[in-house]
Structure 1
């Protein structure tokens, strides 16, 4: 689809009609801009702030599969962006910037516009912009200059394309941003093509079941323009957009139907060999099927569909001890039963909840997470239930819908539910029972429909006995209990460490984890659980040179052995390793010095893009 953009005078007239006169701007601007302006009316005119480093690292870990599968496209687009004074941005499914690379000349300007990792560029946060509007419109588009809702972004031009999952949800957004005159149809075509490449790689990374590759033109097999269908236990559980176009169907029409009804009974004849497949209507396609044999026993199909593993491969059922529990939880959640996840801090409760969302019936809807422990008691009510205009001092103009309304059609995840104040528990219970939410300060009530997942590390029955948690709410949220094992209790600990080390960068740098290091990592008690393990492995990868052998002496002293090993009598927490960010900065400084401050040489040795080194130098000068 080719976009036509209005002149500067037409946009100025549209802004005057909309912002000053309250009139419909539609005759003067593109339809997607007009729709977005109307959706953006509650947005405050304030510069967004990046989230803290720890929270950003967690969001990156949750999107690790997307990051791994998008890396090649980020690097490819960065070459174009650097030559045109632009930056390339990758966000998660909620519009949060995960990565930003590109022109060192534009990076300082990008920082002024808050185009930074950790900043939310969804429409509810920033109004009309290419990232947020592409998420809302579910299509590739551009937003140029004063088409942005917030005047403070009028010096930006952006082209963005959503990255779709195999079940029609959105995994993230690719964006090119720069001066408005640098963003044109060519830039839009580049991000659209790159998004399709990422979708192709994401779907090929799903190792469970079978992947059918096909096209009416045999020469296109093996390219990102081939159709892909993911088949599990004889049912179609995923497809890319090319497959939808080839069959003239939507995800809603194609997903979860029997594959034989679409492809005929002889569809398995192309297993592991390219051939022509005759469809029930007589049409023919060139196809090849990859994956396990159809008769092979597998876990429940819904739990395996579109599960976002860490890295560019889904976890194997033979090495992921959590998969059977996940499969059960998906099945009950799909029946409308709430799930309560219990586990120690760092054991992966939010990651488990996100995998529930991706494997469940509402994977195409939003995933809305609320950390009940991090919000002050005075704010959590407004955050959850929303508020009307003027509900309290400091409230946003036009109010706020609230997190519960944002979860409509998707999944609401209430982390650390035990920390919710007693005064709000009865109101939450009423919403869960009636499925209607009323904002603070009055205003119309809104019907909501969502699946509910909660998490806690506390003993809820003990809290009920102590009068600190309502019994009726506990029974409502704990329809199915999923207790995650601590890392020291997991039987797949050794395999998990090996897989995570590869996926967190060890494979890309061709690193080898030596047996003595693997033994020590497996024996360590991991008081911080999987979160601590990831931090240590990321540090090892960051400090290692390509092709290094990572042995026992490279590990933090606390992990090398001693009183914190599993099976020892002591239960003492290990000494915390140096923060990853600090070690990474020190590593970049050392490599720069070794390379005589040649940025290109340092970037090549580090295995990163030059803009990463430039950004590091800019921060050092502040």
Structure 2
């Protein structure tokens, strides 16, 4: 035994002695929460602090069941988990989100330390319940229902004394434990006080996730937001209370339940059967229900002040009104069914809603429209929606990609030609695309790539509303609505002499700008809508998009915008097995980013410790060996698709051995 090993063994013996001494002769020197946990580990769970305790991973199928049950939370928690990870990753922390039973259903950590994560148990699918892991931040948080730090020798098992772990509980609107948010690190100062800030950060993000879950679950109700500060009530939203139209209490977040109990409204505790709806918001606030519901429309800041009945405390209130789908006919403002094609393009993204509002006003106006946006942002879809929502909807929509059409053919294709106009022309001539759009909409995609000489002819068409086919002596009158689109800077092209300024002003009667997908607030809506559209197109068995896949999709920056998203979803539907798309079914580039989840499955196929890798062996080769070169099993283990496994094997030069060579 070398010096380091001897020192480590002595540290473990000292740790065990400290635990036993503390339990035999409690002197109050240890944290009471930690001491209670140590006693549970021995008296209730029969654990031995000196016994080896390698990490326990649940089987793949069990992990999927836990993720399915936590699916709604995983989707809501995604943004908070990733923001927290960005805060703590410079300090080499990992982030775990576990369910109420201590199973890690979401994980973020450095890919460079993946083996260390797996070896220590800080990885997806690990079981951190006190029953198996002993005293630890997650398991003890589950037992005690309070935020805490488990630092170095606070851990029961000597296997974990290098770690510092900080966790905070997340409660559902009924007060039941829903999940635990944890950050952990392998290296940290000896003093437990060094983790004070870590505890505050984790508590903050746990509360953010908890409140976001509450807001989503009760989005169909009036939500009363209260705070003791007028300046922060719109931002902080400390107390959240969901009410019916008549003021009946429906639910409250953790802080809101404490507030109600403080003012002597005996609400049901976790698991209790007393009805929450036995009380009204007017039992808390000295106000009429109409005053509360009118808070959203009161004053410049939409905040009203109310006193509580008991204790006469001043609280400032604002209201979040129920989320309802756009008004149907006869409800609220008149609903124009013709706007449906435009309305379907976005949900609640502010930039897109502004663009669609202007598009709705322009759809029947006799002016040309220029749609601007990055490649793949849906410019043609916008043009089609404008056409389908206009009075021209029963006339042709003709789309022309100015960048894809061969320059030698573009003139004849656009303007048509008379019989015998040139060698190879059809005997009866051809009606050009512009003439085919007569009465309807002509969509000119990538207009910035149109050759200069054709820009001149197009300008004449727009100015005179007539087209002269090749070889013809008399022009044809056309009734056109032109929608052009480009990802280029047309004003820059004008300065370079590559685009006509007069054509620009003809096309740019009004402009509509489409934001890139990475900047849109309604990505969730777009993903689900495209996913449903693709399923309807494919037919057959219905497939669901699981939370881990949705999290990866929402985390990806989408350089190819909606077009890339469309392709990724089509790929996932083609490669998924069973009735759900998981993160491993997505294209590799969607899951390989720094913040992407490293796997959708646990690092092994059954409970127990992962087999020790061979020295210098690639993780893929290790998995292939462990699964006896069963590609499907390896794909499930690593959370990747089978085509991705084959591509990586080819890139790394990994060749399957003959069956007799398999160990």
Q: Which residue of 2 aligns with 1:524?
A: 540
Secondary structure at 2:156 match in 1: coil
Q: Which residue of 2 aligns with 1:391?
A: none
Once the two structures are TM-superposed, the CA of residue 19 in structure 1 deviates from its matched residue by: 2.8
TM-score for the superposition, normalised by structure 1: 0.51
Q: How does 1:170-569 map to 2 (within 5 A)?
A: 170-179=177-186, 181=188, 184-205=195-216, 206-232=218-244, 234-244=247-257, 246=259, 249=262, 253-255=266-268, 256=276, 257-259=278-280, 260-264=282-286, 266-271=288-293, 272-273=296-297, 274-281=303-310, 282-292=312-322, 507=524, 512-513=529-530, 517-520=534-537, 524-526=540-542, 532-534=543-545, 538=549, 546-548=561-563, 555=570
Partners of 2:532 and 2:261 in 1: CA distance: 52
Once the two structures are TM-superposed, the CA of residue 63 in structure 1 deviates from its matched residue by: 1.1
Q: How does 1:81-92 map to 2 (within 5 A)?
A: 81-92=88-99
Once the two structures are TM-superposed, the CA of residue 275 in structure 1 deviates from its matched residue by: 1.4
1:176/1:191 contact within 8 Å kept: yes
Secondary structure at 1:286 match in 2: strand
**Alignment partner of 1:70 is 2:87:** no
Partners of 1:66 and 1:35 in 2: CA distance: 30
Secondary structure at 2:266 match in 1: helix
Partner of residue 152 from structure 1, selected from 149, 154, 159 = 159
Partners of 1:86 and 1:16 in 2: CA distance: 29
1:165/1:199 contact within 8 Å kept: yes
Partners of 1:251 and 1:81 in 2: CA distance: 40
Once the two structures are TM-superposed, the CA of residue 53 in structure 1 deviates from its matched residue by: 2.5
2:261/2:267 contact within 8 Å kept: no
**Alignment partner of 1:112 is 2:119:** yes
2:16/2:158 contact within 8 Å kept: no
1:511/1:550 contact within 8 Å kept: no
Partners of 1:80 and 1:511 in 2: CA distance: 29
2:100/2:178 contact within 8 Å kept: yes
Once the two structures are TM-superposed, the CA of residue 120 in structure 1 deviates from its matched residue by: 1.6
Once the two structures are TM-superposed, the CA of residue 510 in structure 1 deviates from its matched residue by: 5.3
Q: How does 1:599-618 map to 2 (within 5 A)?
A: 603=593, 608-609=595-596
**Alignment partner of 1:58 is 2:60:** no
- Segments of structure 2 that go 5 or more residues without pairing to the other structure are 1-9, 269-275, 298-302, 324-521, 604-616, 623-663
TM-score for the superposition, normalised by structure 2: 0.48
Change (3 A) 1:612 1:224: farther
Bigger Cα displacement from structure 2, 26-35 vs 217-226: 217-226
- Segments of structure 1 that go 5 or more residues without pairing to the other structure are 1-8, 294-504, 527-531, 561-573, 593-601
2:531/2:569 contact within 8 Å kept: no
Secondary structure at 1:65 match in 2: helix
Once the two structures are TM-superposed, the CA of residue 117 in structure 1 deviates from its matched residue by: 1.2
2:544/2:579 contact within 8 Å kept: no
Once the two structures are TM-superposed, the CA of residue 541 in structure 1 deviates from its matched residue by: 8.3
Pairwise CA RMSD of aligned residues? 4.4
1:228/1:240 contact within 8 Å kept: yes
Q: Which residue of 1 aligns with 2:620?
A: 620
2:104/2:126 contact within 8 Å kept: yes
Q: Higher relative contact order at CA 8 Å, sep ≥6: structure 1 or structure 2?
A: 2
Q: Which residue of 2 aligns with 1:39?
A: 40
Q: Which residue of 2 aligns with 1:411?
A: none
Secondary structure at 1:603 match in 2: coil
Question: 1:199-246 CA distances to partner (integer Å, 9 max, x unpaired)?
Answer: 221111122332110112111112245211122464333222333455
Once the two structures are TM-superposed, the CA of residue 156 in structure 1 deviates from its matched residue by: 0.8
Partners of 1:105 and 1:508 in 2: CA distance: 34
Q: Which residue of 1 aligns with 2:330?
A: none
Change (3 A) 1:535 1:11: closer
Q: Which residue of 1 aligns with 2:585?
A: 583
Secondary structure at 1:158 match in 2: strand
Secondary structure at 1:152 match in 2: helix
Q: Which residue of 1 aligns with 2:138?
A: 131
Bigger Cα displacement from structure 2, 505-514 vs 259-268: 505-514
Secondary structure at 1:28 match in 2: coil
1:539/1:583 contact within 8 Å kept: no
**Alignment partner of 1:164 is 2:171:** yes
Partners of 2:34 and 2:23 in 1: CA distance: 15
Partners of 2:11 and 2:264 in 1: CA distance: 37
2:111/2:598 contact within 8 Å kept: yes
Partners of 2:258 and 2:580 in 1: CA distance: 51
Question: 1:303-324 CA distances to partner (integer Å, 9 max, x unpaired)?
Answer: xxxxxxxxxxxxxxxxxxxxxx
Change (3 A) 1:575 1:30: closer
Q: Which residue of 1 aligns with 2:5?
A: none
Q: Which has the larger radius of gyration?
A: 2
1:81/1:103 contact within 8 Å kept: no
Question: 1:156-207 CA distances to partner (integer Å, 9 max, x unpaired)?
Answer: 1111111122222111111111135256101111101111111221111122
1:511/1:546 contact within 8 Å kept: no
Partners of 1:35 and 1:70 in 2: CA distance: 30
Q: Which residue of 2 aligns with 1:312?
A: none
Partners of 1:610 and 1:534 in 2: CA distance: 16
1:160/1:176 contact within 8 Å kept: yes
Partners of 1:96 and 1:251 in 2: CA distance: 37
Question: 1:2-60 CA distances to partner (integer Å, 9 max, x unpaired)?
Answer: xxxxxxx9998784264379604453311001000111112545424322223322322
Once the two structures are TM-superposed, the CA of residue 99 in structure 1 deviates from its matched residue by: 1.4
1:79/1:102 contact within 8 Å kept: no
Partners of 1:115 and 1:231 in 2: CA distance: 40
Question: 1:281-330 CA distances to partner (integer Å, 9 max, x unpaired)?
Answer: 4433211233359xxxxxxxxxxxxxxxxxxxxxxxxxxxxxxxxxxxxx
